[in-house]
Amino acid sequence: MRVDIISIFPEYFAPLDVSLVGKARERGILEIRLHQLRDWTRDVHKTVDDTPYGGGPGMVMKPEIWGEAIDAVISEGRSALGVPAGAPRMIVPTPSGRPFTQETAIEYADEPWLLFTPARYEGIDSRVAAEYGSRLRVDEVSIGDYVLAGGEAAVLVIVEAVGRLLPGVLGNARSVADDSFAPGPMANLLEGPVYTKPPVWRGHEVPEILLSGHHGKIARWRRDQALRRTLEKRPELVDRLDPAGLDKDDRKILAEFGTACGVSFRARPHDVAN
């Protein structure tokens, strides 16, 4: 996968040299190219912002500079990728975008080329998204309901979430199929607690079921823990659980602990009996 990032703070992306994403780059699975937006300015002050039409506080990023930068980065990428007509998926972080979720990450992991345009100030003149929206797929995305000072941190989040899904990045050590928000039997369930050695640390014991070697019982215990934790911390996720994916034991746990967490799971009478 190729990733281009255009920003007035390319130094902000130093973390992409490290750890999982850094390793994916070293191994050639992921190619990330950083671009300084100010390289496309023509004035001595390298101005990228201007006052908002209609008045109000703050500044807005100028469309011409972004247009020049995006055109150049796409042209350069086309030559490098050897696909004269290829186009990246353009991702614009903004607090007013569609929520970025694990589903979005899975979708992006299938793309050969992503272009990120993280803004500063109050964002980019809206005509930039309109212009490129007619030429490429443009996604305005939010990584959560809080306001950042700019889009760079959001790009780091998205690149890490996507990078770990690329074939060969995680290896077989861990399956992405077990992820809390991935589709499948554990979809929309939070992960339960995890433990390693020693068996007793400062008086806290590892639950003895995990030391038992009963793989079936361990799997059941883990699922109970996942259900209880989800009820407690993210009750709204319980409404998204696929009823067809719930067995008798699941429904019993949900009925037992759900009421305490304000979740009215409609248990069938036979689930609660015993």
- Point out which span in 2-10, 117-125, 162-170, 217-225 binds ligand JFE (CB under 6 A): 117-125
Residue in 33, 38, 164, 229 annotated catalytic: 164
List phi, psi (to 5°) of 95.
-65, -15
Using CB under 6 A as the binding rule, the residues of this chain from 75 to 114 that contact ligand JFE are: 93-96
Residue in 64, 110, 122, 242 annotated catalytic: 122
Rounded CA gap, 140 and 118, in Å? Answer: 10
52 binds ligand JFE (CB under 6 A): no
Nearest to 69 by CA among 40, 45, 92: 40
113 strand-pairing partners: 2
Least distance between ligand JFE and beta carbon 143 (Å)? 4
Compose the 180-219 pattern: x for residues touching ligand JFE by CB under 6 A, - for all others: ----------------------------------------
User: Cis peptide leading into 198, omega within 30 of 0?
Assistant: yes
Residue in 95, 160, 191, 229 annotated catalytic: 95
Least distance between ligand JFE and beta carbon 233 (Å)? 21
Is 95 tagged catalytic?
yes
Nearest to 148 by CA among 126, 105, 173, 119: 119
Compose the 136-175 pattern: x for residues touching ligand JFE by CB under 6 A, - for all others: ------xxx-xxxxxx--x---------------------
Give yes or no for a contact between 265 and 241, defined as CB atoms under 8 angstroms apart.
no
Residue in 125, 152, 179, 271 annotated catalytic: 179
Give the C-alpha distances (Å, rounded to integers) separating 268 from 34, 235, 250, 265. Answer: 56, 19, 12, 9
Is 93 tagged catalytic?
no
How, if at all, do strands 204-205 and 200-201 pair? antiparallel
Size of residue set near ligand JFE by CB under 6 A: 19
Q: Which residues contact 19 (CB under 8 A, 6 or more apart)?
A: none
Binding site for ligand JFE (CB under 6 A): 93-96, 119-123, 142-144, 146-151, 154
For the annotated catalytic residues, the residue numbers are 95, 122, 164, 179
